[in-house]
Amino acid sequence: MIGTNRYIGSPVERIEDLRFLRGRGEFVGDLRRDGMLHAAILRSPIAHGRIRRLDAAAGRALPGVHAVITATEIGAVPRIPLRLLPLPGTERFLQPVIAADRVRYVGEPIAVVLAASAALAEDGVGAIALDIDELPPVADRRASGRDGILLFEESGTNLAMQFTATLGDADAAFRDAPYVRRERFQTQRYTALPMESRGVLAEWDAGRVRMTVLGAAKVPFFNRDTLAAMLGLAPADVDLIENDVGGGFGARGEFYPEDFLIPFAARHIGRPVRWIEDRREHLTAMNHARQADCEVEIACRRDGTILGLRGEVFVDLGAYVRTNGLIQPRTLAQFFSGPYRVPNIRITSMALLTNKTPSGTYRAPGRYEASFFCERLIELAAGDLEIDSAEMRRRNLIAAAEMPYKLARLEPGGPAADTECDSGDYREALERCLAEFGWVDKRTLQGRLINGRYHGIAVACFIEGSGAGPKETARLELEPDGTVAVYVGSAAVGQGLETVMAQIAADTLGIPLDQVRVLHGSTLYLQEGYGAFASRSTVLGGSAVFEGAKVLLEKIRTAAAARLGEAAADVELVDGRARTSDGRSLSLSELAADGLRVDTAFANNNRLTYSYGSAAAHVAVDPGTGHVDLLDFLVVEDVGRIVNPLTLHGQAIGGIVQGLGGAFMENLVYDGNGQLLAGNLADYLIPTASDFPRIRAIALENHPSTSDPLGVKGAGEGAIIPVGGLMANAVANALASFGAMPNQLPLSPARVWQMGPMEGQTSP
Amino acid sequence: MKPAPFDYRAPATLQEAIDLLAAEPEALLIAGGQSLMPVLAFRLASPSMLVDLRRVAGLGDIAIDGGGVLLGARVRWRDIDDDPRLQTAHPLLREAIAHVAHYQIRNRGTVGGSLAHADPAAELPGIAVTCDAEITLAGAAGARTLRAGEFFTGPLSTARRPDEIITELHLPLWPRNRRWAFQEFAQRQGDFALAGTALFYDEDQDGLVRNAHVGVIGACDRPQRLTEVETLLNGHAVGEGLFREAAEAAAQAVDPPDDLHANAAYRRGLVATLVARGLRASHIRGR
Amino acid sequence: MQVSFQLNGEPVEVDIEPRMHLADCLREMLRLTGTHLGCEHGACGACTVIVDGAAVRSCLILAVQAEGSSVVTVEGLSSEEALTPLQAAFRKHHALQCGFCTPGMLTTAHALLTEEPDADADRIRSALSGNLCRCTGYIPIVEAVLEARAAYRKSDKP
């Protein structure tokens, strides 16, 4: 198909690593400009209220403080638009770039202080006099649904949007079903928590009328256009530059208020301005995620065949609809059934506004939650019907012969209303997982008390829809020094983009890897681009690079042929030189003067391609403490085609550990006044090196994608999907003798303890 | 999260440090800074001045003799780890300190800092109270010694006056054949304990429990000795039945907080579990 | 206030506010930005540097407290030319993705292996439990540190 394939499929060590290992990365906090000022943001300490008084005089008077910017200085600016699913009605709930009169969550920006240092800016924030008349907060989704107190009075409701996923006739299926089980489940509010918090460095060039913003990530082109509109500039007058990014996971890179406030401040003051988010503000400022609860039911035949799924899901969206805030509720509904054959579905998903930090996407948004809900239901049904957990999955997995398999139709769904699982053999991955895990042997441990701990095992299956369209762009240019520069519209968020794209380009062209240089993300490089989300970079970006490299190869061969007086068909590119059959050759740098370059894009008509897999886990529960020891975790995923097995494995392990954090310990707890109680990293707990040392991941490439020329499917989000449901089912099975019902995440020690014998509480 | 501004002094002697504290009522002491620096970062405190003990000599020693173990206030967790004498001179202290925080913090955090910060879930205050330790302070009015049980007055509160500096912690002599245990449960390694227990007793020639000391951390507003449990144990024969009774009594004797990590019912159950496991472990140990 | 200390083997002198922590002093005054700030309250370990041979959180030390000390940052762990065995092991095992926690992981591992070249997997995990990583899931980091032990066993300094 292409070149030599000596890099694609190889565990190539990452090019990016060299600078990171030396401490030479360039994250936005590492950058500075002459004359730069530092910004700090005054944020609402109250969850719901009206600003009665904002007096910045004392702040402005502090030595070292250069300005305090409020809504007064900013004036009228469009609200932050939705990047995804801008459905009619959502315009009522968009977030303003700064609070003018009303505040709707603790952490909402109210003023920006500019000073000579970050410490002085923080001093300035502390000196501003702020009085807020409190309004009763809408503390949770139940209060929200009563529509008693409204966050947006003119809209008349707190229901931001409702989605319904439908297939077949759910009511008929449930009416006639021999077995029905109905339950309530809940996932908690938590967050992506990249290790690098956010930051923006903005420079305004008044002479050239040009705004340059560093610290961009994920979707720089959309954000550039949004910012330009807000500043009254043409998109061509604004550059968003992506530097090194300390993790994104879906949360970083969306357009936040600070993405306007800091550039505005730079233009207002006429000096570069840098803002670096601190961790405390990060926990109230960056997108929250995942909080949902549901009441759902499953209908089955006595042999375990699933007939239907029906129910209602409630998402606690927070105070505004953010740029991608509706993805979680819509995906939860449409993918509720996961990889299972469910002929009759009706799931309604409601996004409700509350006085909390707004939420958005976080790695496999909606899918993690759906998998928890669905896998719990399936496990309960399996138990009631006395069917082995693995057999229950086996019977209900979509079969290879059924591909493409249509999932539930989503309304309102727009172009993505319908989707189908495109290719693959889901059972093959399940069988491989069970065999590697040792399911048959480990089954004998189910529910047993061994050395003071209760043992449980569980299995779960998942699909990952990847490669969200519409397209991705690339430009390849032959440089004077004979290297090939590859500019991609994809963004790097730590996933190894530079290396993976280089592997594809090098193999396609047939040149050594070190002759390829990948530049990404910045609006400087390309006219348009789409970015890194929904595990699309390799699928779409990689395909764009692949197609572009093929065209560039032809151009190189043609140019060399002209110079050497041969036909292009007689010229091959071997080890970086254009060679004829009789041994004459030209180096690439000799050809560079011909100005060889290709601008390309790859579009997939918004057709998702689905990775899939299964995961199994073995836990031991300590009834005295509620601690869950993860003795073994195995995931098997078929990703279509593996470009770099090293980085792919890293995505799986990393995703699983994030999922485990959500399953056991991460929790953005709010009190009844809308105050975030988990406001620092001593209270918001993420996994550490000693928590989950036994995790295995196996990648398969047995069923390449038919949607792109490389055959790849996305692999950034699959492994996290089944973790919540898997852990809950394993704990349920371990504590089955106590009728444990782990229907709520996280499975904190206190919660798990309460499901067991509560040893210590009763006398012997 | 930068602190509010403050002045800084690093006096050369203890008396200079005391004089600075006495003269500047809004000043705070800093030693390792592992507890204080986060407080300053969150602007939960805005001292006018920090008085750093880093240059004051004589506070960093571990002295072991027939009277017991004397820890200077600037002794760090890693100094306790690194001192092999403590394996026999005070194994309970050593075991408890192994649970403190993380690798980097252990290189800086100090005995005096931990006592002064008085977190209800911290290990060293728990050891101090359980072992009837004595805390010596030096201040403008001179030096005084307090028993650990009187020193801790509430969550993050102690009897230390603003001008006083903790200089040393004294743990009574530890007999070689003592039965002891330290049990703690935290969500992750190095986190503050959801609850923990330090306990010891001596066995007389008839195999009866004597001199029982049972202390708990994380389950009350300060480290606490459970005298009801000690009374229950003393004079009785060791065995599973006694241990379970003691565990049950421990659960009843504590009044734990509800917080975002756990509720009171769980903490009671956890205390019972840890006391039972501690007693079983202590029974095996020292044979 | 004036502060003088040794930084990666060279003497430095800076004039800073007492409230500036060592991490900010390194990053903003001395322009060594390899030491990262992930939380500024001593919970994440991204800011770890080596002071007088011991791994410490540089956000929990005031710059003025570094007076007279020897400070080693991630930049001081290697030369321009080659990666150290520890760095090479990180690369080989894909022990970094976004790279933000990496300097803290390297300084902590270096300090640990310098003192304890025979540290086993449990000890390594325990020592690294104060360094948060959100990308890798830690397993490749522990593998890399285990492999790097060989270099520390051979001599005092790799």
Residues of chain B found within 8 Å of residue C64, distances taken between Cβ atoms? 8, 10, 52
CB contact under 8 A, C33 and A20: no
Give tens-digit pLDDT for A186-207: 999 999 999 999 999 999 999 9
Give tens-digit pLDDT for C54-68: 999 999 999 999 999
Q: To the nearest whole number, what is the mean pLDDT of chain C?
A: 96
CB-based burial, A706-740: b 16+ in 10 Å, e otherwise: ebbebbbbbbbbbbbbbbbbbbbbbbbbbbeebeb
**What is the helix (H) or strand (E) element at residue A507, kind and residue range?**
helix A497-509
Within 10 A of B81 (CB to CB), how many other CB atoms are there?
14
Token duo for residue A224: 């550039």
Sheet order of strands, A577-580 included: A571-574, A577-580, A585-587
Domains, chain C, in order of start with CATH, read: 2-76 (3.10.20.30), 85-154 (1.10.150.120)
Return the partners of chain C (3 or more C-beta pairs < 8 Å): A, B
CB contact under 8 A, A749 and B187: yes
Q: To the nearest whole number, what is the mean pLDDT of chain A?
A: 93
Residues of chain C found within 8 Å of residue A680, distances taken between Cβ atoms? 39, 41, 43
Beta bridge partners of A738: none
Residue A3 pLDDT > 90, yes or no?
no
| Per-residue confidence (pLDDT) for residue B35, from 0 to 100 | 96
| Per-residue confidence (pLDDT) for residue A494, from 0 to 100 | 76
CB contact under 8 A, B108 and C61: yes
| Per-residue confidence (pLDDT) for residue A309, from 0 to 100 | 98
The residue-averaged pLDDT of B32-38 equals: 97
CB contact under 8 A, B260 and A687: no
Nearest CA-CA partner of A213 in A33, A483, A402: A33
A322 contacts A191 by C-beta, under 8 angstroms: no
CB contact under 8 A, C19 and B5: yes
A36 contacts A262 by C-beta, under 8 angstroms: no
Give tens-digit pLDDT for B118-168: 999 999 999 999 999 999 999 999 999 999 999 999 999 999 999 999 999
Give tens-digit pLDDT for A75-105: 999 999 999 889 999 999 999 999 999 999 9
Residue of A nearest to B272 (CA): A760
> What's the burial of B206, exposed, middle or buried (CB within 10 Å: 0-12/13-18/19+)?
exposed
In this structure, which amino acid lies at residue A743? N
CB contact under 8 A, C18 and B7: yes
Residue of A nearest to B263 (CA): A750
Task: Chain A: give the shortest CA distance to residue C73, in Å.
Answer: 9
Give tens-digit pLDDT for A34-77: 999 999 999 999 999 999 999 999 999 999 999 999 999 999 99
Read off the pTM: 0.96
Return the partners of chain B (3 or more C-beta pairs < 8 Å): A, C
Cα gap A63→A616, rounded to integer Å = 60
Which residue from A196, A278, A689 is facing C98, i.e. has the nearest CB?
A: A196
Task: State whether residue C127 sits within 8 Å of chain B by CB.
Answer: yes
Task: State whether residue C124 sits within 8 Å of chain B by CB.
Answer: no
Cα gap A490→A109, rounded to integer Å = 30
CB contact under 8 A, A750 and B266: yes
Give the SS3 label for residue B115: helix
Task: State whether residue B276 sits within 8 Å of chain A by CB.
Answer: yes
| Per-residue confidence (pLDDT) for residue A603, from 0 to 100 | 86
Nearest CA-CA partner of A4 in A498, A501, A483, A512: A512
Task: State whether residue A687 sits within 8 Å of chain C by CB.
Answer: yes
Residue C155 pLDDT > 70, yes or no?
no
- The 3-state secondary structure of A560-629 reads HHHHHCCCHHHEEEECCEEEECCCCEEEHHHHHHHCCEEEEEEECCCCCEEEEEEEEEEEEECCCCCCEE
Best C16, C50, C62 residue to mutate vs chain B (most B CBs within 10 Å): C62
Q: Mention every residue, 6+ apart, whose C-beta is less than 8 A from residue A587.
A: A482, A576, A577, A578
Residues of chain C found within 8 Å of residue A246, distances taken between Cβ atoms? 36, 98-100
Which residue from C33, C99, C138 is facing A657, i.e. has the nearest CB?
A: C138
The residue-averaged pLDDT of B229-233 equals: 98
Residues of chain A found within 8 Å of residue C97, distances taken between Cβ atoms? 247, 494-496, 647, 650, 654
The residue-averaged pLDDT of A327-347 equals: 97
Instruction: Give the CATH number of domain A425-464+608-764.
Output: 3.30.365.10
Cα gap A368→A328, rounded to integer Å = 10
Give tens-digit pLDDT for A528-567: 777 777 677 788 888 999 999 999 999 999 999 999 888 8
CB contact under 8 A, C65 and B78: no
Give tens-digit pLDDT for C26-59: 999 999 999 999 999 999 999 999 999 999 999 9
Which residue from A624, A665, A685 is facing B273, i.e. has the nearest CB?
A: A624
Cα gap A143→A650, rounded to integer Å = 41
Cα gap B155→B121, rounded to integer Å = 9
Task: Chain C: give the shortest CA distance to residue A727, in Å.
Answer: 17
| Per-residue confidence (pLDDT) for residue A764, from 0 to 100 | 33
pLDDT band, residue A121 (cuts 50/70/90): very high
Cα gap B130→A448, rounded to integer Å = 37
CA distances from A345 to A372, A415, B187, B242 (A): 17, 20, 39, 58
- The ranges assigned to domains in chain A are 17-25+468-603, 31-135+192-285, 138-190+289-387, 425-464+608-764
CB contact under 8 A, A119 and B5: yes
Task: State whether residue A196 sits within 8 Å of chain C by CB.
Answer: yes
CB contact under 8 A, C137 and A493: no
pLDDT band, residue B286 (cuts 50/70/90): low
Within 10 A of B274 (CB to CB), how many other CB atoms are there?
31
Q: Mention every residue, 6+ apart, whose C-beta is less than 8 A from residue C21.
A: B37, C40, C58, C59, C60, C61, C62, C63
Task: Chain C: give the shortest CA distance to residue A110, in Å.
Answer: 23
CB contact under 8 A, A20 and C102: yes
| Per-residue confidence (pLDDT) for residue A12, from 0 to 100 | 86
Give tens-digit pLDDT for A383-410: 999 999 999 999 999 999 999 999 999 9
Give tens-digit pLDDT for A444-461: 999 999 999 999 999 999
Is there a shared CATH topology between the A31-135+192-285 domain and the A138-190+289-387 domain?
Answer: no
CB contact under 8 A, B260 and A669: yes
Instruction: Give the CATH number of domain A138-190+289-387.
Output: 3.30.365.10
Domains, chain B, in order of start with CATH, read: 7-52 (3.30.43.10), 62-172 (3.30.465.10), 179-284 (3.30.390.50)
The architecture in CATH of the region A31-135+192-285 reads: Alpha-Beta Complex (3.90)
A205 contacts A380 by C-beta, under 8 angstroms: no
Give tens-digit pLDDT for B262-274: 999 999 999 999 9
Cα gap A465→A364, rounded to integer Å = 9
The residue-averaged pLDDT of A246-250 equals: 94
Residue A761 pLDDT > 50, yes or no?
no
Nearest CA-CA partner of A45 in A298, A303, A281: A281
Nearest CA-CA partner of A119 in C63, C31, C99: C63
Q: Which is more confident, A707 or C109?
A: C109
CB contact under 8 A, C36 and A196: yes
**What is the helix (H) or strand (E) element at residue A121, kind and residue range?**
helix A118-127
The share of chain A scoring above pLDDT 90, in percent, equals 80
CB contact under 8 A, B1 and A278: yes
Task: State whether residue A20 sits within 8 Å of chain C by CB.
Answer: yes
Residues of chain C found within 8 Å of residue A495, distances taken between Cβ atoms? 97
Residue C98 pLDDT > 50, yes or no?
yes
B182 contacts B92 by C-beta, under 8 angstroms: yes
| Per-residue confidence (pLDDT) for residue A762, from 0 to 100 | 41
CB contact under 8 A, B194 and A682: no
> What's the burial of A420, exposed, middle or buried (CB within 10 Å: 0-12/13-18/19+)?
middle
Strands A129-134 and A190-191: unpaired
Residues of chain B found within 8 Å of residue C57, distances taken between Cβ atoms? 34, 104-105, 108
Q: How many CB pairs under 8 A join A and C?
A: 176
Residue A166 pLDDT > 80, yes or no?
yes
A29 contacts A76 by C-beta, under 8 angstroms: no
pLDDT band, residue A13 (cuts 50/70/90): confident
Q: Mention every residue, 6+ apart, whose C-beta is less than 8 A from residue A569.
A: none
Q: Does domain A17-25+468-603 have CATH number 3.30.365.10?
A: yes
Tell me which residues of chain A have a C-beta less than 8 Å from any C-beta of chain B: 118-119, 122-123, 126, 278-280, 624-627, 665, 667, 669, 677-678, 680, 682-683, 685, 687-688, 690-691, 748-750, 753-754, 758-761, 763-764
CB contact under 8 A, C100 and A681: no
CB contact under 8 A, A13 and C92: yes
Q: Mention every residue, 6+ apart, whose C-beta is less than 8 A from residue B88.
A: B176
> What's the burial of A204, exposed, middle or buried (CB within 10 Å: 0-12/13-18/19+)?
buried
Residue with tokens 């254009």: A578
Residues of chain C found within 8 Å of residue A647, distances taken between Cβ atoms? 94, 97
Residues of chain A found within 8 Å of residue C75, distances taken between Cβ atoms? 22-24
> CA angle at residue A139 from A138 to A145, to 5 degrees?
60
Cα gap C105→B104, rounded to integer Å = 11
Residue A122 pLDDT > 70, yes or no?
yes
| Per-residue confidence (pLDDT) for residue C157, from 0 to 100 | 53
CB contact under 8 A, B8 and C1: yes
